[in-house]
Amino acid sequence: MISAKPRERLRIAVQKSGRLTEASQDLLARCGLQFRQSRDKLFCFGESLAIDLLLVRDDDIPGLIAQGVCDLGIVGRNVLGEHSRAATTRDAGVAAQELVALGFGRCHLAIALPQEAEYTNPQSLSGARIATTYPALLAEWLERNGVSAEIVVLSGSVEIAPRLGTADAICDLVSSGATLAANQLREAAVVLESEAVLIGPQAMPADERGELRDLLLRRMDGVIQVRESKLVLLHVARSAVPAITRLLPNGQVPTITPVEGSPDDVSLQALCYGSITWQHLEEMKRAGASRLLVLPVEKMLA
Ligand code: PRT
Ligand code: ZN
């Protein structure tokens, strides 16, 4: 039985089955959490730490936090944004906040129009009927841009509304853009940039759950940092080290070691954050680097 009574175990709501499920569970596993799943597959009991999972539909997650049934949740920023704006008109309980951006499930909420429709600026949408499953986020964007338009609230299949004649435009999530293209729609404006986020109340009671939450947040920071870190190794003439250091994307101060038998050359090793592209490598090569290697980092303890 799931309850909102005081408890000692931390409870996290994650999507049961959908685009965020695998990446959410993978992130928690990388934080060292191991679970045993209940027979009805709705609950995962934490075996390594007193942290359990509740597997639910993503739309229910902000509400479960507001009611105190769960302490943390993983959802798209779009779901949190829609819930918190819609909740201002009803009893919201404890408001869930974005605590950590998790870097997966990236997409954006966009307004799209039929290919042939004209769009120069937000005012082009004046008087239009816009179909969406995100009425609160769309209403806020329209207000912010001083546009008066009609919001047609749908529960799904938003992209076919213009062809059916029930709307002139849509406001929906886009990742690759393939769905828009397949429906002869083109993107006109971005309402919200989204990715999966860890959400929870701003503050936790100072009990065991608060300590567990702090521990999990610290581990998550470490996992995210490692995921975005690369170790760069290269050889270069000692005189070119300053030029190479400037080219290292978000690099830490490099470690320099002499190369046996080549007094003018050094071996350089640096930890870098963010992606390292072919262009970065080519620029370093032009600046004199050779034997370039980019390695993933598995664990890091400063
Ligand atoms: O059953 P449940 O309610 O839990 O799941 P759901 O069906 O509501 O959500 P789900 O699993 O589809 O998506 C979960 C979250 O993933 C969303 O809230 C977003 O934060 C994120 N996400 C990332 C996306 C997309 N990318 C995405 N492309 N959510 C939906 N889409 C849909 C979009 O609505 C459109 O229909 O994919 C289509 C567009 O994709 P492209 O690649 O053709 O542009
Ligand atoms: Zn959903």
pLDDT in tens, 120-132: 999 999 999 999 9
Confidence grade of residue 241 (pLDDT, cut at 50, 70, 90)? very high
Q: Note whether 165 and 112 are same-domain residues.
A: yes
Question: 209: which DSSP letter?
Answer: H
Q: Note whether 59 and 113 are same-domain residues.
A: no
Residue 39 contacts by C-beta under 8 Å, 6 or more apart in sequence? none
Alpha helix positions (H), 106-207: 135-144, 161-164, 178-182
Q: Note whether 118 and 93 are same-domain residues.
A: no
* 301 within a domain of the structure (yes/no): no
What pLDDT, on a 0 to 100 scale, did the predictor assign at position 124?
Answer: 98
Mean pLDDT for 228-245 is: 94
- As a whole number of angstroms, the distance between CA 172 and CA 157 comes to 10
* 1 within a domain of the structure (yes/no): no
Lowest-pLDDT range, 36-50, 160-174, 200-214, 282-296?
200-214
Q: Note whether 144 and 181 are same-domain residues.
A: yes
- As a whole number of angstroms, the distance between CA 105 and CA 134 comes to 17
Global pTM reads 0.85
Question: Domain boundary residue among 175, 193, 211?
Answer: 193
What's the mean per-residue pLDDT of the chain? 92
Q: Note whether 119 and 189 are same-domain residues.
A: yes
Domain count, the chain: 3
Residue ID of nearest Cα to ligand 1 atom 28: 175
Confidence grade of residue 153 (pLDDT, cut at 50, 70, 90)? very high
- Closest C-alpha among 217, 211, 244, 122 to residue 171: 122
Span from the CA of 46 to the centroid of ligand 1 (angstroms): 28
Span from the CA of 246 to the centroid of ligand 1 (angstroms): 39
What pLDDT, on a 0 to 100 scale, did the predictor assign at position 182?
Answer: 97
Q: Note whether 88 and 220 are same-domain residues.
A: yes
Span from the CA of 283 to the centroid of ligand 1 (angstroms): 37
Residue ID of nearest Cα to ligand 1 atom 31: 173
Q: Closest ligand to 16 CA?
A: 1
Q: Note whether 146 and 165 are same-domain residues.
A: yes
* 278 within a domain of the structure (yes/no): yes
State the CATH number of the domain containing residue 58: 3.40.190.10
Q: Note whether 234 and 205 are same-domain residues.
A: no
**Which stretch of DSSP H or E encloses residue 247?**
helix 241-247
Question: Domain boundary residue among 173, 193, 213?
Answer: 193
Mean pLDDT for 98-115 is: 96
Query: How many other β-carbons are positioned within 10 Å of the β-carbon of residue 53?
Result: 26
Ligand 1: which residues within 6 Å by Cβ? Answer: 15, 18-20, 57-59, 76, 78-79, 105, 107, 172-179, 194
**Strand intervals (E) in the chain:** 10-15, 35-37, 43-46, 51-56, 72-76, 97-101, 107-114, 129-132, 150-153, 169-174, 185-194, 196-200, 229-237, 255-259, 262-273, 290-296
Q: Note whether 96 and 19 are same-domain residues.
A: yes
Q: Note whether 182 and 201 are same-domain residues.
A: no
State the CATH number of the domain containing residue 292: 3.30.70.120
Residue 218 tokens read as 């610290």
What pLDDT, on a 0 to 100 scale, did the predictor assign at position 250?
Answer: 77
Residue from 15, 41, 58 to probe ligand 1 pocket by mutation (most atoms less than 8 Å from CB): 58
Confidence grade of residue 88 (pLDDT, cut at 50, 70, 90)? low
Give exposure, 218-244, as e/b (b: 16+ Cβ within 10 Å). ebbebbbeeeebbebbbbbbeebbebb
Confidence grade of residue 95 (pLDDT, cut at 50, 70, 90)? confident
The rounded percent of the chain whose pLDDT value lies above 90 is 82
Residue from 19, 41, 179, 180 to probe ligand 1 pocket by mutation (most atoms less than 8 Å from CB): 19
- For ligand 1, what atom is nearest to the CA of residue 18? 11
Residue 285 tokens read as 């090569």
Residue numbers of the domain that contains 169: 107-193
Q: Note whether 77 and 207 are same-domain residues.
A: yes
- For ligand 1, what atom is nearest to the CA of residue 177? 44
Residue ID of nearest Cα to ligand 1 atom 21: 105
Question: Domain boundary residue among 193, 213, 247?
Answer: 193
- pLDDT higher than threshold 60 for residue 50: yes
What pLDDT, on a 0 to 100 scale, did the predictor assign at position 226?
Answer: 87
Q: Note whether 220 and 72 are same-domain residues.
A: yes
